[in-house]
Structure 1
Amino acid sequence: MQNMTQVPGGKDDFQLVHHLTLKGSRFEIGRALAEEARRLGWAPTPGDPVVNRARRTWFERHWPQHHARMDGAAAILGDGPLCVTNHLLHRHPDPMNLPEDTELSFRTFERLRTLHERSKGVTMSPRDLRETLRSVRPREDPATPFRTMWTTVFDTADRTLSTSFYLGDGRRYTEELVFPGHDR
């Protein structure tokens, strides 16, 4: 591990976030992330093997860099689910033809349709993208167990990753944290 810093959150918050800087091949980075996760006591929850296989196949075809990191993590943690998603969105290639939301989908499909409609055919500025993401963030309601855990914006022009994290009911979200690319 190159560097690890606690970013937002603490013992009284919903989540504690660390920023890790790692160097090496994609496989080595995945392995190092999994070693750190295991050191902190995390282990993947077994998932549906058919869904996991579909996710790994998608990453192998469309994002081989992440697939290599998944292979590195699997060398430490086994072939657990390393991709987090609320729903099987890969089964619905057209965002405008998603199924109707149910009580259990927490407006996920509606939010994705809104994001698609607002961004269709345009290049959004970082400011417009952030505003659009905030507009589809679920309202904080203690009676509803669903929250957006983090929001991330990749700015390819500035070569930055900006993110904010949910810290718990009544604590809202962190201020946006900006991480520069390694070549800056």
Structure 2
Amino acid sequence: MTSVIAGGPDDFMTVRYLTVRGSQREIGRALAEEARAVSRWAPQPADPAVNAGRMAWFAKNWPQHHERLLGVAEVFGVDAVTSYVEGLPGLPGGSGCSVVWSPASTGPDGRTRIGRNYDFFTMGVTQLIQSITGGSPEPSDEPPMASQPYVIATIPDDGMASTVITMNELDGCMEGINAAGLTVALLIADAEATVAGPAMSAPQAGVNEVQLPRFVLDTCEDVEQAKKALLEAEQYVTGVACHYLIADGSGRAFVWERGDDGSRHVIEPGKGAMCVTNYPLHRHPDVSDLPEDNEHSFRTYERSRTLADLTGDGLSGTELRGALDAVAFTEGEEPWRTLWRSVFEPEERTMTTRFYLGEDAEGGPRYSEEIVFGSGR
């Protein structure tokens, strides 16, 4: 069942809430029906030899996704080996963003929290591609790429329930929390590297950058399981390389990154809060020794320094929201904004989010009220 929970035709975005339940295959069918109802997306032909290997990888390592893909294939009347049935619908992409993990041990009320700003362009797909490949965006009637996000509650008969937010793909996500309290949020890994444009690689065996959060939420219950799964899983990039903050209900967290050479990095938190923006932490581990920002860095170093100053001793929920607002993109002529702000409380299994609706007469941001979501069940 789908309902509008924030925004509408007169706002920048319309936020839909979708609940899918049943067997994993039934969930896949429900996601496919939603994609068919709201877009012109259709499965594309695939190399059977390559795609058979991909499906075999999913069956072994991510059986929940494998079953959902079979459900998608049934809805569109295709074979999941000879057709690509992923990406429901849209263009793979990363985001700017800032994320803070505030541990219970240093917080004023003994609670762990994760806060995140989701920053993204306010353009349509064509304008976005023109922009990130060095061109000048031309006028377009396309709706902004991020104007129709979904909050999806997945409640399977035989697996981990979860609630996620996705900007553009119903079978992937940007962030989410599962019934065990495990939380995942993705961010662009290296803002300066995006000047080269999106990778646009062909699908391979393993998970891409937008599938990875779903993979972790479906298959893991805590940080140690997530580390093991990611160290073993094949991974590739179809749009923009991302890194991920992953935290669990017991108060543990880490950041997952991959180097340009394919190396894998688990970055553990030090004392106090852990702040992540859009530069590789394995390359710049010391926030006091960051370079200055430039025209391609998306204020990533400034945001990191500001968050470090504001979050050193751990934060209450109000303080965490204030820190995120201090680094939010809220004004100016640049075509991007902070499109939503989420605060996760893993012990409570909740995600609390407000959404960007546009700007008021004075040019200031308009937001929805905060909405509290459970972790599926």
Q: CA RMSD in A?
A: 4.0
Kindly indicate which of the two structures has a greater share of residues assigned to helix: 1
Match of 2:270 in 1: none
Q: Which runs of 5+ in 2 are unaligned?
A: 40-88, 94-197, 220-236, 244-276
Give the C-alpha shift of residue 173 in structure 1: 1.3
Match of 1:75 in 2: none
**Is the radius of gyration larger for structure 1 or structure 2?**
2
- Tell whether the 8 Å contact from 2:330 to 2:338 is kept in structure 1 after alignment: no
Give the alignment partner of residue 90 of structure 2, picking from 18, 43, 46: 43
Report the residue type matching 2:339 in the other structure.
M
Instruction: Please give the TM-score of this superposition, normalised by the length of structure 1.
Output: 0.65
Mapped to 2, the partners of 1:31 and 1:160 lie a distance apart of 26
* Aligned residues with identical type, % of pairs: 36
The 5 A counterparts of 1:1-184 are: 3-23=1-21, 32-33=30-31, 36-37=34-35, 39-41=37-39, 42-44=89-91, 47-49=198-200, 56=208, 64-66=215-217, 81=239, 89=278, 91-93=280-282, 94=285, 96=287, 98-120=290-312, 122-141=313-332, 143-170=333-360, 172-183=366-377
Mapped to 1, the partners of 2:209 and 2:14 lie a distance apart of 31
Aligned length: 165
Structure of greater relative contact order (alpha carbons < 8 Å, 6+ residues apart): 2
Mapped to 2, the partners of 1:100 and 1:55 lie a distance apart of 33
Of the structure 1 ranges 144-153 and 25-34, higher mean CA displacement relative to structure 2 is found in 25-34
**Deviation string, structure 1 residues 93-125 (Cα, Å, up to 9, x no partner):** 3372554322343323321332244334x4422
Mapped to 2, the partners of 1:98 and 1:34 lie a distance apart of 44
Kindly indicate which of the two structures has a greater share of residues assigned to strand: 2
Give the C-alpha shift of residue 92 in structure 1: 3.4
Q: Which runs of 5+ in 1 are unaligned?
A: 69-78
**Taking structure 1 as reference, are residues 26 and 89 closer, same or farther at Cα in structure 2, changes over 3 Å only?**
farther
Mapped to 2, the partners of 1:59 and 1:91 lie a distance apart of 20
Report the residue type matching 2:14 in the other structure.
L
Name the SS of the counterpart of 1:149 in structure 2.
strand
Name the SS of the counterpart of 2:352 in structure 1.
strand
